[in-house]
Structure 1
Amino acid sequence: MPNQLPLEDGPYSLHAIGIGAHGLTFMDATTLIVDQKCVSVFIQTDKGMYKPGQTVLMRFIAYKPTLLPYSGTVEVSITDPNDNLIAKWKDVRLDSGVAFRDLPLSIEPPLGMWAISVSGKCLEGKQTFRVDKYVLPKFEVTVKPPSLLVSSDTSVEVTVTAKYTYGQPVKGTLELTFYLITRYYSYYGKPPKILRMSNIKIDGTKAFMLDSSKIRSLREEYYMVKTNLPSSGQLAINASVTEELTGTTLSGQGLTSFYSHSIKMEFHESTSKTFKPGLSFVARVLVTTQDNKPVEGNNVTVTASTHIESTPFVVQVVGGIAVLIYDVPTGATWLSLNAKCEDPRTGNIVTANSHPSISKSPSNSFIQLSTSTSSTQIGTSLNYGVKSNFEFSKLYYQVMARGSLIVHGFRQLNSSATNTSLEVCVTHAMAPSAQIVAYVITTDGEVVADSLSVSVAIGFENSVNVSFDVTEKKPGDDVTVTVKAAPDSFVAVAAVHYSVALLADTKDITQAHVVNELQSYDSSTPDWNNSPMRGFLQKKNILYGGRGHRVVKMHIAYLIKQASRY
């Protein structure tokens, strides 16, 4: 989309008109959603919670989808829990993409959640912090329940740990409470039954093996069968530790969920929603535990059915994925996939189904992209196979990531063929996910295309490392912090006491936050197989005469803003 167009956010109609030698060749239209966002901003505070009279330290970091700093100006405002405007700074300049501000709180400020808002040209962000009266905790209580429970389990293992913020174990007494969180209690508004265990000695860590009969006793009479644990809902475990020396009591909670199966299956998102008669269909079945850990070594039976044949295949799970390559019969009009796997913990059969629709083409011409993996790393080469059910001599390709065109080109074959290959070098600009589109223009002008998405493990071009000179110091001693990064890097450091982090989120910027933000720039994936004229090429103003038309000599495209529905 040209940057110079003065577009507002909202839906537009993109109209394309093709004019050939003998007049109008085609006319088509599609809907576009224009998003003005082109810069990301992170708002960081030194703490997540402040006392009255303390000073809130703020840092704003703005960067482009390329991860290069944004050096414009922004407006910053702060509101209290009553939505009163407390402070406002205009034209805050970002030096190397970073700006700083601070706000001294009064002695009696409104308690609750405050908000920091940052806005500017094609960017906006919001962050919150809490103002409250509090006492810093001296130790932390953590509860480690089982990662999951299935209805046939006979015991529940729980570990409670109490440690001072400097790492030493806490001596004292422990009280445990167990209760169920289910739809039954939510629907009827009844308080749950509670199982309580008191006066337990603890010295840092205490492990329990609880018989499942005690958990089953928490089930209401609503449940007709009490011989097993629930198959849904959660088990909440609260632990309160009272310190032996001072009598201070602090608490922690753990949650674990009930399931009827210990594993789950689904067809991976890289499995196409359409199939192409006469070409291979690649199905990837994702097999994980209920807490999303990949399963290894299990066998999955995948039955591929058409009106012509029904064939079962046994494939092994490797790294949580079972891959089936099925050659679709030429005359197939529908395809159904059924996957089955035995749950190693319960012995039950877990299933998953997929019903891809048939691809559409005026001439029944198809091409297919394939690759051996759905994820890769920066610096590697990704090899794609390209097959078709017709001969071609020139293949075009484009790679998109973060909403931008990264690579494009074509491959000229020495002679016409029905298959070839593409090699794409994976760069930083393709993380965290990229889409490759390959297409062929047939002799009668039809655009025949296919696309695949690939996940790219993010790697930052500027590698940053932070370290302390020692792991332990006495109060009042100096600590040396070493930061290593590329030459001329702008470095911003934040430090906070561990006990403060126990009270509230410290608003740190993590790699996961950056990855999620980069993914927000990705545009929607076009459905090539159901409409060869719509989608990627049209949005990029590379307009060809699809649906059997010949390539036109000129094209006209224009936008019409759609009226608001509200």
Structure 2
Amino acid sequence: MYKPGHKVQFRVLVLDPYLKPSSLNRIDVILKDGQNNRVKEWKRMEATKGVFSNEIQLSPNPVLGDWSIVVKANGKDQVKKFTVAEYVLPKFEVSVDVPQHATYANSTVPVTISAKYTFGQPVKGEATIKVRPQYTFFKEEVQENSKVIKADPIGKTEIDVVHALALEDNQYYERTILFDVAFKEDLTGKVLNGSASLKLHHARCKVDFQKIVDFLTPGEMYKTLLKISNWDDTPYEGAKNTPVRVRYGKGWADRENAPWRDYQLPLSGLIELNFKTQEETEVLNIEAEYMGVSAYDTVVKKQKEDCRNSSSLDLVVLNDRPKIGDTVEVDVFTKGDAVFLSHIVIGRGVLTEAKTKILSEGQHTMRLKIPITPNMAPFCHIVLVYITNKGELVAAEKEIKVDNVLCNFVCTITHMRYT
């Protein structure tokens, strides 16, 4: 690309089919501007040893666009184009990548900084990183901080957020931490800004109840799930010797005096809890505790207006964000006289699986194993249904999100005698 006022230099090679200088040494050369006007013409020029060179000085205000050099030799035309335009410094975009969550106990986070021009090429430069909380408390003094790294073309570093800001562990509030980056381009010294943020939590993990049913039935077993996960909802990997403690009672006071039950944390992070109820039980108050993090849940019995339907169907997906090729497990809980339980899986508007299973007498739970196929990405729906002896249709539905939709793989096989 040439700017107005630049000098355009060009060279013409006249070669024969064997790529040697041609014996034909007379050529015509025509220069055309961006509007196809003839700017200059060289007639019957001699190509000494197959080479002709020349140049032209562009005016301060030339016609902008795609110019062309046309060479005519031996009845054939060859065209070469070049662009004349006002040069504008290319813009670039700064990208700052940090984790979405961090904790006071594990506050050192990786920071990755990069920049790209609008046409996709990476930018080399220097990045200045400043960390600050989005909001400050009354009379809170935040420590000034700054860190400079090179991006050639990607810059990576680690920052201890709590130490950099001299933050005090606040048990009651999570905080939003901002990463402000000033990226200076090496080529021109131009500076553009980028930013990212993360949530800083007091607790190491999340402890949540996931209800299977909304109400308890007095005299029957009440089931629920306890999920322990990282703040990004991935399964939490805790210490093997640290148990998950659970206790429950018929109210707050009864729960406080109840003994703790210990459970081991499975790899999935999901624990199935079963609580026996009495005929007079109207409410259950449940508490779970793990590594200083507590969760509470209260469930009550159905009122009369909620007891019209004695049949129910619930399902819980045990695998969190499965991938293509995985097998997802689904726990099914039925109430009523279910005998034939049917399920269908729909992905991308197409039926991908349909099966019917027979429940044995007294069986109210079942675990389904469903293989994840490419047709189920990026999400699919599983629908379960059964018909009671009274002809009542009972159904439930759940959405399953599938990860790594666009990930491909290559398998290579080699033989020893050829390597």
TM-score category by the smaller chain? 0.5 to 0.7
* Equivalent runs, 1:545-564 vs 2, <5 Å: none
**Offset, 1:326:** 0.8
Contact 1:303 1:311 in 2 (8 A): yes
Is residue 2:214 matched to residue 1:273?
Answer: yes
Is there any run of 5+ residues in structure 2 with no aligned partner, and where? 1-87, 411-419
1:17-416 counterparts in 2 under 5 A? 136-138=90-92, 141-145=94-98, 147-151=100-104, 156-157=108-109, 159-162=111-114, 170-171=124-125, 173-182=126-135, 195=144, 197=146, 203-204=152-153, 205=155, 207=157, 209=159, 212=162, 214-216=164-166, 227-228=168-169, 231-268=173-210, 271-297=212-238, 299-306=243-250, 310=258, 312-331=260-279, 332-342=281-291, 349-359=292-302, 373=318, 392=337, 394-395=339-340, 397=342
Q: Highest CA radius of gyration, 1 or 2?
A: 2
Shift of 1:341: 0.9
Deviation at 1:340, TM superposition (A): 1.0
Q: Paired residue for 1:115?
A: none
Instruction: Please name the residue that 1:441 is paired with.
Output: 389
Q: Give the superposition deviation at 1:437.
A: 3.6
**Offset at residue 274 of structure 1 (A):** 2.2
Residues 317/448 of structure 1: CA separation in 2 closer, same or farther (3 Å cut):
farther
AA aligned opposite 2:113: T
Q: 1:293 to 1:409 in 2, by over 3 A?
A: closer
Structure 2 counterpart SS, 1:419: coil
Closer, same or farther in 2 for the Cα pair 1:437/1:334, shift >3 Å?
A: farther
Contact 2:340 2:358 in 1 (8 A): yes
Is this contact kept in 2: 1:400–1:436, CA < 8 A?
no
Cα shift at 1:436? 1.9
Aligned partners of 1:227 and 1:320: how far apart in 2? 33
In structure 2, the CA distance between the partners of 1:458 and 1:281, relative to structure 1 (3 Å rule), is farther
Higher relative contact order (CA 8 A, sep 6+): 1
CA shift digits 1:530-552 (9 cap, x unpaired): xxxxxxxxxxxxxxxxxxxxxxx
Alignment check: 8 A CA contact 2:177 2:197 kept: yes
CA 1:358–1:395 in structure 2 vs 1: closer, same or farther (change >3 Å)? farther
Structure 1, residues 223-269: CA drift from partner, whole Å, max 9, x if none? xxx6547943322221212233321223221212222213122123x
Q: CA deviation at 1:317?
A: 3.0
Q: 1:320 to 1:329 in 2, by over 3 A?
A: same
Partner of 2:361: 417
Q: Counterpart of 2:59?
A: none
Mind listing any 5+ residue stretches in structure 1 that lack a counterpart?
A: 1-133, 217-225, 343-348, 468-566
SS in 2 for 1:355: strand
Root mean square deviation of aligned Cα: 5.1
- Partners of 1:243 and 1:209 in 2: CA distance: 23
Shift of 1:425: 6.5
What amino acid does structure 2 have at the position aligned with 1:176? I
Give the match's secondary structure for 1:335.
Answer: strand
- CA offset at residue 354 of structure 1? 2.0
Deviation at 1:158, TM superposition (A): 5.6
SS of residue in 1 equivalent to 2:282: coil
**Which amino acid is the alignment partner of residue 161 of structure 1?**
I
Q: Once the two structures are superposed, what CA deviation does each residue of 1:15-59 show, in whole Å capped at 9, x if it has no partner?
A: xxxxxxxxxxxxxxxxxxxxxxxxxxxxxxxxxxxxxxxxxxxxx
CA displacement at 1:335 relative to structure 2 = 2.2
Partners of 2:127 and 2:328 in 1: CA distance = 55
Give the letter aligned to residue 197 of structure 2: L
> Shift in Å at residue 174 of structure 1?
3.7
- 1:455 and 2:409 aligned: no
| TM-score between the two structures when normalised by the length of structure 2 | 0.52
Aligned position for 2:380: 432
One-letter code of the match for 1:358?
Answer: K
Distance of 1:372 and 1:229 partners within structure 2? 34
Separation of aligned partners in 2, 1:410 and 1:206: 53
Tell me, yes or no, if the aligned pair for 2:338 and 2:387 is still in contact at 8 Å.
Answer: no
Distance in 2 (CA, whole Å) between partners of 1:199 and 1:312 is 51
Note closer, same or farther for the CA distance 1:369–1:297 as it changes in structure 2 (3 Å cut): same
Distance 1:206 1:399, change over 3 A: closer
Distance 2:135 2:216 in 1: 41
Please state how far the C-alpha of 1:181 moved relative to its aligned partner: 0.8
Give the structure 2 partner of residue 86 of structure 1: none
CA separation in 2, counterparts of 1:238 and 1:194? 15
- AA aligned opposite 1:240: A
Aligned length: 301
TM-score (norm 1): 0.41
- SS for the counterpart of 1:432 is strand
Change (3 A) 1:459 1:275: farther
SS at match of 2:146: strand
The residue identity in structure 1 corresponding to 2:246 is V
The whole-number CA distance in structure 1 between the counterparts of 2:376 and 2:168 is: 55
Distance 1:293 1:301 in 2: 21
Does the 8 Å CA contact 1:149/1:258 hold for their aligned counterparts? yes
**Counterpart AA for 1:177:** K
